[in-house]
Structure 1
Amino acid sequence: MSKTMAGNYFEDFALGQEIVHATPRTITEGDVSLYTALYGARFALTSAQTFARGLGMERMPVDGLLAFHVVFGKSVPDVSLNAVANLGYAGGRFGAPVHVGDTLTATSTVIGLKPNSSGATGNVYVRTIGRNQHDVAVVDYVRWVMVNRRSRVAADELGEATIPELPGAVPAEDLVVPWRVVGGYDTALAGSPYLWDDYEVGERIDHADGMTIEESDHMLATRLYQNTAKVHFDQHAQATTRTGRRLIYGGHVISLARALSFNGLGNALSVAAVNGGNHANPTFAGDTIYAWSEVLERLELPGRHDVGALRIRTVAAKDHPCADFPLRGEDGRYLPHVVLDLDYTVLMPRR
């Protein structure tokens, strides 16, 4: 009897199934340093202990996206080891801040199943929750992923689809705001003079800079998160696929786009929610990522006059600077250079 795990295929999932993911992960200083080396994000709250303390926090928090990726990585062996691609996100909310020394665990619940007409794959919808050592939620979100079947089935054997009603944007009253402006806010040290009051709905910001992904970058990042998905690691297997190459983990592109967004959104100190998102096209080593953002909403936070929230749409493109260009072709599909379309909410000091 084999003692190795081949991962779950589409037919192994059931509605309501609860999955406890293996291997708790204690966040270290090394994790934080490597994350900074991979993306170069410069947001002051997660870069300087002194800045974090100036915003009423006892310690500098870990970048919320690092915590998100670690929790995501926990779920991969059970949910997406045999995936074709991760398709999207909805209803993501960041809870208690994560600090060096915290230990993260993750659980997932299957909330939807959709057989695909090809008979070779199906889409699996899960809600994943990451918790710290005190059993307090640090992040929870819905994602859906296309997973291979163990064997192809005929059209009359596909089975019924159950597609969940996906949550919309996280409302302002449900956002967790772990920091506060207790005195004067130093925009010079933060790196940008623009605060919440300076942004208008509909405003579009070209983040101008680009970052080329090296093969070593995405391999190190994916291993950092203990993400074991075959499509990211096994070139021998990928050589037989349509692309013939290892796919870059979509979260790697999210973190790149977030880092690039500093140029224009430098005071967006932390991500509070991921409202929705799509990995529109695959990304590969050698691609150069550019990004632009649009302000979708300005949200006032209940009882807070020091901090506001901006709902942002960030689009990332490969090998295509983000001046004004269409996202979709006449057929309604994303154009080939669009790799990420992300709707998320950030927290920003007010004047």
Structure 2
Amino acid sequence: MAKTNPGRFFEDYSVGDVIKHAVPRTVSGGERALYHALYPARHALYSSDEFARAVGLPKAPLDDLAAFHIVFGKTVPDVSLNAVANLGYAEGRWHLPVYEGDTLRSESEVIGVKQNSNGKSGVVYVRTRGLNQNDDVVMDYVRWVMVRKGNLDAPAPETVIPELSKVIDPADLVIPAGLDFSKYDFDLAGETHRWGDYEIGETIDHVDGVTVEEAEHMLATRLWQNTAKVHFDSTARPDGTRLIYGGHVISMARALSFNGLANAQMIVGLNGGAHANPCLSGTTIRAWSEVLDKAETSAPGVGAIRLRLVATSGGDAFALKGEDGKYKPEVLLDLDYWALMPV
């Protein structure tokens, strides 16, 4: 009998299936150092234990997106090893900060399936939870993936498309216990702009750009233990290129957003997201943000800000979609998230 795992195909998923993913991972300071080496990440709360303690946390946690990548990476062998594309995200919430010494594992429930009209692939919807060593949920999110069929003659399943919230209600955002921005040090954080300085509808050009290199994105994807073939195997795509993991683009854009949003410290909600166009080695990633909404929170000195983060490979600044309603070819990422910021 074959002992290797070819990955699941579309016909292998059924609504209600719960998949427990291998392999648990204990987080060390190495993940934080490597994350900051791979991306120009400089948000103070994740860079300094002393800064984190001054705002009510026990020490600097692992960057929220690094925790997301670890949880996400564990799902790949079971969810997206044979994926054509990762299509979108919804209802993502960070429930607990992740600290050095925490052990993370992931599990996913299949909540929807829909075969494509070509009969060669279908869309699978999963809700994934990341849990720590105490079985506490540190984050959860929904994503949907287009997956190839292994047996083209397999019958199409009954279509189930889950109803998903377009926006997380600010009242449902989880504020880390003890977080207090009332004595926030703007000098150490790097910018003076606070929650009240941002207007809904405002756009911010983050100015800087980073050219993605082949070895760098493969190192990052290995760090998250993401095994998707398209990221490593040049024979997995017809054009012979290795597709850059979409999470790499997310983290790069988030790091670039420091210039203009240095005080958008913690990501606590993921309303939605789309990898609009593929990113390949040699692409220079730039980013801009739009302020979509603002909300007060019960934590002292803490406000929530809803941001649209767009990563591009150039082209017309702030242009998102063409007249046909489709993303422009230079748009790589369109991400909608909630962050916490001092008021």
CA deviations on 1:55-112 (whole Å, 9 max, x unpaired) are 1111111101000000000100000011111111000000110001100011000000
2:192 is matched with: 193
Q: Which residue of 1 aligns with 2:113?
A: 113
CA contact (8 A) 1:282 1:339 kept: yes
Shift of 1:175: 1.2
Q: CA deviation at 1:182?
A: 5.9
Asked if the contact 1:276–1:343 (Cα under 8 Å) also holds between the matched residues in 2, the reply is yes
Contact 1:120 1:153 in 2 (8 A): no
Indicate the larger mover: 112-121 or 182-191: 182-191
* Contact 2:271 2:338 survives alignment (8 Å): yes
In structure 2, C-alpha distance between the alignment counterparts of 1:193 and 1:163, rounded to whole Å:
44
2:293 — aligned with what?
Answer: 297
| Matches of 1:15 and 1:282, distance apart in 2 | 29
Shift of 1:305: 4.2
Structure 1 residues 182, 255: closer, same or farther in 2, change over 3 A? closer
The question of 1:164 aligning with 2:157 is answered no
Deviates more, 1:174-183 or 1:260-269: 174-183
Instruction: Kindly provide the CA deviation profile for residues 13-60 of structure 1, in whole angstroms up to 9, marking residues without a partner as x.
Output: 001000000110111111111110000210000000110010111111
Q: Match for residue 323 of structure 1? A: 317
Q: CA deviation at 1:291?
A: 0.7
**Could you tell me the percent identity over the aligned residues?**
58
Q: What is the RMSD of the two structures over their aligned residues, measured on CA atoms?
A: 1.3
- Residue type at the aligned position of 2:306: R
Output the CA distance in 1 between the equivalents of 2:270 and 2:137: 15
Count of matched residue pairs: 342
CA distance in 2, matches of 1:316, 1:220: 21
Residue number in structure 1 paired with 2:282 = 286
The CA distance in 2 between the partners of 1:137 and 1:160, in whole Å, is 31
Q: Displacement of 1:153 after TM fit?
A: 4.3
What SS does the corresponding residue of 1:236 show, helix, strand or coil? coil
**Runs (5+) with no aligned partner, structure 1:** none
Q: Counterpart of 2:303 in 1: which secondary structure? A: strand
2:8 matches 1:15: no
Contact 1:287 1:319 in 2 (8 A): no
2:234 maps to 1:272: no
Counterpart in 1 of 2:215?
216
Post-superposition shift, 1:119?
1.2
Output the amino acid matched with 2:317.
A
Secondary structure, counterpart of 1:208 in structure 2 = strand
Q: Distance in 1 between matches of 2:58 and 2:106?
A: 25
Deviation at 1:265, TM superposition (A): 0.4
Contact persistence 2:55–2:183 (CA under 8 A): no
Task: Tell me the secondary structure at the aligned position of residue 46 of structure 1.
Answer: helix
Q: Provide TM-score, normalisation by structure 1.
A: 0.95
Between the aligned partners of 2:181 and 2:333, the Cα distance in structure 1 is: 36
TM-score for both structures, normalised by structure 2:
0.97
